[in-house]
C-alpha cells in the first residue's frame, strides 16, 4: 500500500470541532446514557409544511432533475432580492448582486479561494465559526485573529489590528448576531467596519446566518443599511436557522457585484449548483417569511428565558442573549473550557461545546444551544443543580 501523505493545508487545520463532539456523544449514547445535547446548533423543530409541500411539487417536475443553472433560478434570486428589500430596506440587483449557495457555510468556505493568494492575510474573529479559518487556510492565506472580549461586548477592536499587517490584509469576516458568543452589533459598528474596509481596500464577508433569530423586539441590521457598504461587502444569508432547513443546504450571498462574480466563478468550477426543487422550496420560504418567523422567535425566546433564568437561579451570572439560539456561559472557577465541558458530560450527561474550540479567545467559556424543548432544558438545569453545583 502506498503512503497516503496528507497535504500541508490539511495538516494546518485544527480538528473540526463538531466531529470531535459527535464522537463524544456517540460514545456516551453507546453506553446507554440519556444525553441532553446542547452542543450543535441544529434546530429540533421540523421544516414548515408549506416548504415541504413546495419541494414535493417541484421535485415531481422533471425539469428540476437536470443540472441547475450556475446563477441559480432567476425566480430564487428575485425572491431573495424582494426579501432583502422587505426585511432591511436594501436594494440588490438579482442578476449581478445575488448568488445561491449550497448553504451559507459553503459560500463562506469558498470565497477566500476567489480573492486570497498565498501570503495574503485575513482578519478572522476569535472565537469564530470554524470555516472562516479553514477557508482561509485552504486558500493559502494567513489567519490574523481579532479577539472578541466581554469588555468590548464581543466586538472586534479594529483599532487594535496590527498596522504593520494591514498591507497584507485582503479580507475580513464578521458575524452578527454572533456564533458562538450570541453578541449583537448596531449600525455604528457596521459603519466603522465599512469605513475601515474602504480605507484599507479590504473585502468584508458578513455572516448573517442568525439575523432572524432575535428577541425582545430587536431587529439585527444588515451591513447594507450602511452607506457605502456595497463598495466592499458581501453578506451571507442562510435558510437553515430561520426556516429549520439545516439539512436542505440552501442559502445565498448578496452584495458587491465583483465579489459575487468571483465567488460564482469558484463555484462554477467546484459544484453544479443547488437542486432546483430546493431552490423552489426556498422561494416559498422567503415569500412566506412574515407568516412563519413570529412563532420561531417566540419558541426560542421562551426557551432562552427558561434556561438562562434556571442557570442564574444556581448562582451563575449568565446574560440573556438578544439573538441566536446560543447561550455563552463563563465557566466556574478552577475549570477550563474543556474540563467544564467534560464535567457536564461525565457528571450530568449534558453535551456543551468548549469555547476554545472556536479559537483561543473562547477559553473560559462553553456554548450551549437551546435546540431542545423546554422540558429537556429544565432537566438540564436540574441535573447541573444536583450533580455539579
Among the residue ranges 26-30, 116-120, 192-196, 220-224, the one predicted with the least confidence is: 26-30
Q: Which of 14-28, 202-216, 336-350 has the lowest mean pLDDT?
A: 14-28
pLDDT for 18 equals: 67
Q: Identify the band that residue 353 occupies on the pLDDT scale cut at 50, 70 and 90.
A: very high
The reported pLDDT for the residue numbered 17 is 64
In angstroms, the CA 383 to CA 362 distance is 25
Q: How far apart are CA 253 and CA 203, in angstroms?
A: 14
- Structural domains in the chain? 8-46+292-387 (3.90.1150.10), 49-290 (3.40.640.10)
Average pLDDT for the chain: 95
Q: Kindly tell me if the per-residue pLDDT of 1 is higher than 90.
A: no
Average pLDDT over residues 320-336: 97
Closest CA to 324 of 287, 361, 369, 356: 369
- Asked if pLDDT for residue 319 goes beyond 70, the answer is yes
The pLDDT assigned to 25 comes to 78
Whether the pLDDT of residue 15 is over 80: the answer is: no
pLDDT tens-digit map of 161-186: 999 999 999 999 999 999 999 999 99
16 — pLDDT class (breaks 50, 70, 90): low
User: Could you read off the pLDDT of 182-223 as tens digits, one per residue?
Assistant: 999 999 999 999 999 999 999 999 999 999 999 999 999 999
- What SS3 string covers the chain? CCCCCCCHHHHHCCCCHHHHHHHHHHHHHHCCCCCEECCCCCCCCCCCHHHHHHHHHHHCCHHHHCCCCCCCCHHHHHHHHHHHHHHHCCCCCCCCCEEEECCHHHHHHHHHHHHCCCCCEEEEEECCCCHHHHHHHHCCCEEEEEECCHHHCCCCCHHHCCCCCHHHEEEEEEECCCCCCCCCCCHHHHHHHHHHHHHHCCEEEEECCCCCCECCCCCCCCHHHCCCHHHCEEEEEECCCCCCCCCCCCEEEEECHHHHHHHHHHHHCCCCCCCHHHHHHHHHHHHCHHHHHHHHHHHHHHHHHHHHHHHHCCCCCCCCCCECCEEEEECCCCCCHHHHHHHHHHHHCEECEEHHHHCHHHCCEEEEECCCCHHHHHHHHHHHHHHCC
Cell numbers for 379, please give them: 432537566
Amino acid at each position: 500500500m502506498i503512503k497516503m501523505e496528507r497535504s500541508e493545508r490539511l495538516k494546518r487545520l485544527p480538528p473540526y470541532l463538531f466531529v470531535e463532539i459527535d464522537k463524544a456523544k456517540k460514545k456516551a449514547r453507546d453506553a446507554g446514557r440519556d444525553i441532553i445535547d446542547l452542543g450543535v446548533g441544529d434546530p429540533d423543530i421540523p421544516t414548515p409544511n408549506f416548504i415541504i409541500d413546495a419541494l414535493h411539487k417541484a421535485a415531481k417536475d422533471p425539469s428540476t432533475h437536470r443540472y441547475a443553472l450556475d446563477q441559480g433560478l432567476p425566480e430564487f434570486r428575485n425572491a431573495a432580492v424582494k426579501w432583502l428589500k422587505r426585511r432591511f430596506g436594501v436594494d440588490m440587483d438579482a442578476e449581478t448582486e445575488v448568488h445561491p449557495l449550497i448553504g451559507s457555510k459553503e459560500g463562506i468556505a469558498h470565497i477566500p479561494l476567489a480573492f486570497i493568494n498565498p501570503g495574503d492575510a485575513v482578519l478572522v474573529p476569535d472565537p469564530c465559526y470554524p470555516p472562516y479559518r479553514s477557508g482561509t487556510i485552504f486558500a493559502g492565506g494567513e489567519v490574523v485573529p481579532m479577539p472578541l472580549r466581554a469588555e468590548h461586548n464581543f466586538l472586534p477592536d479594529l483599532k487594535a489590528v496590527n498596522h504593520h499587517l494591514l498591507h497584507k490584509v485582503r479580507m475580513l469576516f464578521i458575524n452578527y448576531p454572533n456564533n458562538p458568543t450570541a453578541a449583537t452589533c448596531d449600525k455604528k459598528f457596521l459603519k466603522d467596519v465599512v469605513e475601515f474596509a474602504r480605507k484599507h481596500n479590504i473585502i468584508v464577508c458578513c455572516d448573517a446566518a442568525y439575523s432572524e433569530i432575535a428577541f425582545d423586539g430587536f431587529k439585527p441590521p444588515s451591513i447594507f443599511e450602511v452607506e457605502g457598504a456595497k463598495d466592499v461587502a458581501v453578506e451571507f444569508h442562510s435558510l437553515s436557522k430561520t426556516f429549520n432547513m439545516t439539512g436542505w443546504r440552501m442559502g445565498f450571498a448578496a452584495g458587491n457585484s465583483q465579489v459575487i462574480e468571483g465567488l460564482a466563478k469558484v463555484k462554477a468550477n467546484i459544484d453544479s449548483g443547488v437542486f432546483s426543487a430546493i431552490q423552489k422550496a426556498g422561494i416559498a420560504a422567503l415569500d412566506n417569511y412574515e407568516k412563519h418567523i413570529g412563532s420561531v422567535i417566540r419558541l426560542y425566546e421562551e426557551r432562552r428565558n427558561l434556561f438562562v433564568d434556571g442557570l442564574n437561579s444556581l448562582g451563575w451570572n449568565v446574560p440573556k442573549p438578544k439573538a441566536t439560539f446560543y447561550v455563552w456561559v463563563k465557566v466556574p472557577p478552577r475549570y477550563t473550557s474543556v474540563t467544564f465541558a467534560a464535567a457536564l458530560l461525565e457528571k450530568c450527561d449534558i453535551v456543551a461545546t468548549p469555547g476554545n474550540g472556536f479559537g483561543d479567545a473562547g477559553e473560559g467559556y462553553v456554548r450551549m444551544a437551546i435546540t431542545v424543548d423546554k422540558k429537556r432544558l429544565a432537566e438540564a438545569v436540574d441535573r447541573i443543580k444536583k450533580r455539579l453545583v
